[in-house]
Amino acid sequence: MPLQTTTLTVLIASPGDTALERDAVEDVIRSWNSDHTLEQKVHLLALRWELDSFPVIGRGTAQEMVNSQFADKADIVVGLFYSRLGHPTASAPSGTAEEISRAVDRGAAVHVFFSGANIPQDHDAQQFAALREFREQLRGSGLLGAYSSPDDLKAKVRTCLEHDVHLLTDAVETASAQSPASAAVMRCRYLSEDQQYTDSLGRLKTRQVRQRLRVENLGTGAAEHIEVVVEPLGEGASPVVGDDLTAERLPSHTYFDIPVAPTFGSSPQARVVITWEESGEQFSERQTVRWT
């Protein structure tokens, strides 16, 4: 009899000024599903207030309807904040704050991230002050996350999802092809640094420099004879520079970088397959990585 697929719901809780961040988290969820659902029989379902709520009149406030329709049913909650806290509700400083508080109270997996990017000059000072106060209140409840860009957020949310799926499904390992004997946990993420420059018209511009794929061992054991294969997905070529995609040994919590140089002719994303050995046994991990 074929195994049934388990669905875990992921609520993306955030005020209205985080549209890019919400899209980034949904991209991560699609990527995780592409990498793992077929073999692990676990599917992550994104929930967003602007897409998953439906209009109802006379049965409570708007936030109460969001709570009852889907927010209170989420297995995982990812809270995102930039410069606003959001509009207050009857019981919380904002709808997002209420969703986070209710999720914590019922024992859901909750991760809250605050943007470290520059605040817009035309930001709402009262909203920003309320956000800072809320952040201080949360500090005593656990470890808060920070992100510098949507790409940075993607990498950090991916790590959270791997951890949550591991716990919620009682899996020994989150990687589908990885056996329980593996102590190394191999991951790959795209990194780049921004550099500002002035163009010929005197305008301040930003460009990405020092772009690379970082292959890291997040586990407790060492990985040996690591090999990485980058397979372009979609039209275009691989942006990998050079042909050295190996490492002899990666101890716990170490990494090595693979230089990349995405261009207009590169594929927008790639399937990264990492293979390694531990005590003579071979293991592998697959991930989808985007650089656009």
pLDDT in tens, 199-257: 787 777 776 667 889 999 988 889 999 999 998 877 788 889 888 899 999 999 999 99
Average pLDDT value for residue range 269-274: 86
- Residues making up the chain, counted from first to last: 292
CB 12 within 8 A of CB 25: yes
Distance CA 27, CA 110 (A): 19
Q: What is the pLDDT of residue 174?
A: 39
Q: Is the dihedral of CA 110, 188, 27, 284 positive or negative?
A: negative
pLDDT-derived band at 172, boundaries 50, 70, 90: very low
CA distances from 21 to 26, 58, 133, 151, 241 (A): 9, 32, 21, 9, 29
pLDDT-derived band at 288, boundaries 50, 70, 90: confident
Q: What is the pLDDT of residue 178?
A: 45
pLDDT-derived band at 175, boundaries 50, 70, 90: very low
Measuring CA to CA, which residue among 134, 91, 129, 130 is closest to residue 112? 134
Average pLDDT value for residue range 180-202: 78
CB 68 within 8 A of CB 60: yes
Distance CA 6, CA 288 (A): 21
Distance CA 194, CA 205 (A): 10
Instruction: Say what angle helices 19-40 and 150-168 make with each other, to 10 degrees.
Output: 40
pLDDT-derived band at 186, boundaries 50, 70, 90: confident
CB 124 within 8 A of CB 84: yes
Q: What is the pLDDT of residue 170?
A: 61
- Residues of the chain with pLDDT > 90, as a percent, come to 46
- What are the pLDDT digits (tens) for 50-82? 787 888 887 788 899 899 988 999 999 999 999
pTM confidence score: 0.64
Torsion angle, CA of 239/241/247/251, rounded to 10 degrees? -70
- Angle subtended at Cα 175 by Cα 173 and Cα 176, rounded to the nearest 5 degrees: 105
Average pLDDT value for residue range 143-166: 90
Average pLDDT value for residue range 126-153: 92
- Angle subtended at Cα 11 by Cα 7 and Cα 17, rounded to the nearest 5 degrees: 150
* pLDDT at residue 180 tops 60: no
CB 194 within 8 A of CB 209: yes
Q: What is the pLDDT of residue 181?
A: 56
Q: What is the pLDDT of residue 99?
A: 96
CB 163 within 8 A of CB 114: no
Type of residue numbered 87: H
Q: What is the pLDDT of residue 208?
A: 66
Q: What is the pLDDT of residue 1?
A: 42
CB 182 within 8 A of CB 219: yes
- What are the pLDDT digits (tens) for 4-34? 788 999 999 999 999 999 999 999 999 999 8
Q: Which long-range contacts (CB under 8 A, 24 or more apart) does 44-51 make?
A: 44/7, 44/8, 44/9, 44/10, 44/76, 44/161, 44/165, 45/7, 45/8, 45/9, 45/10, 46/10, 46/12, 47/9, 47/10, 47/11, 47/12, 47/71, 47/74, 48/12, 48/22, 49/13, 49/95
Average pLDDT, the chain: 86
Better-predicted residue by pLDDT, 113 or 177: 113
pLDDT-derived band at 192, boundaries 50, 70, 90: confident
